[in-house]
Amino acid sequence: MINLDDIKSFFIEIGELSYFTNRFFKEVFKRPFETKELLNQCYNIGNRSFLLVGITGFIIGLVITLQTRPTLQEFGAEAWMPSMVSISIIREIGPVIIALTVAGRIASGMGAELGSMRVTEQIDAMEVSGTNPFKYLVVTRIVAATLMIPILVIFGDAIALYGSYIIEFIKGDVSFQLYFNKVFKALEFGDIIPATVKTFFFGFAIGLVGCFKGYYCSNGTVGVGKAANSAVVLASMLLFILDFIAVFVTDIFFNI
């Protein structure tokens, strides 16, 4: 049975998120620009996620190659392994899985951090003192996420391809130069550009949802936990929606 209160709450949240997004675009171009805090958030999001992304990417490359190689061997098509793995990772698997992995860390972290500042009235104190907390806390985090997610995805894709190469070297005695020659020969601009562009939208969505949930947190410490949890869930759902839109648009413009 459909609960009308849940439907009402859903549309209210969509409206609040739309207002929050509109406010971000109004504030992002206004002075002063919080450059120091932006660089600090880039460090927190990027540098502290490199290990997580590296391990994730490496395992992606290992698993895909190990699972796919036996099937290609049955058809005598092992030579297609570098091409198939590179296109799969660059186009879809790498950006989506790495963005989801990072979203679990970033969105929950932003939701919990801003949520705790809200319930302890630190944000209210900033407003009273004349500081623009939205500009300092929200804009810097969203911009940092938008800029750093593409870099993390590129790094993760490179590590994933290296992990795939290791399996090919062990199983098929393929040299490093031969493997990556086939990788770059298989890739085209139609594979790289759309996959890179959509990661900026992934980063924006992760930062936006994390800040939105934390900035409007309520109900004390219990609300902080709920904000962190719901930020991850909503960010993950938005990533899948954005990925579908990106694939649909790419199919239209690059396969005419």
- Residue 202 CA to residue 247 CA, distance in Å, equals 13
Cα 165 to chain center, whole Å?
25
Contact 179, 82 (CB under 8 A): yes
> Distance (Å, rounded) from C-alpha 137 to C-alpha 248?
34
Residue-range domain boundaries for the chain: 49-254
- For CA atoms 68, 70, 73, 75, give the dihedral sign: negative
Per-residue model confidence as pLDDT tens digits over 198-228: 999 999 999 999 999 888 887 777 788 888 8
With a threshold of 0.75, does the pTM exceed it?
A: yes
pLDDT digits over 107-150, tens only?
888 888 888 888 888 888 888 887 788 888 899 999 999 999 99
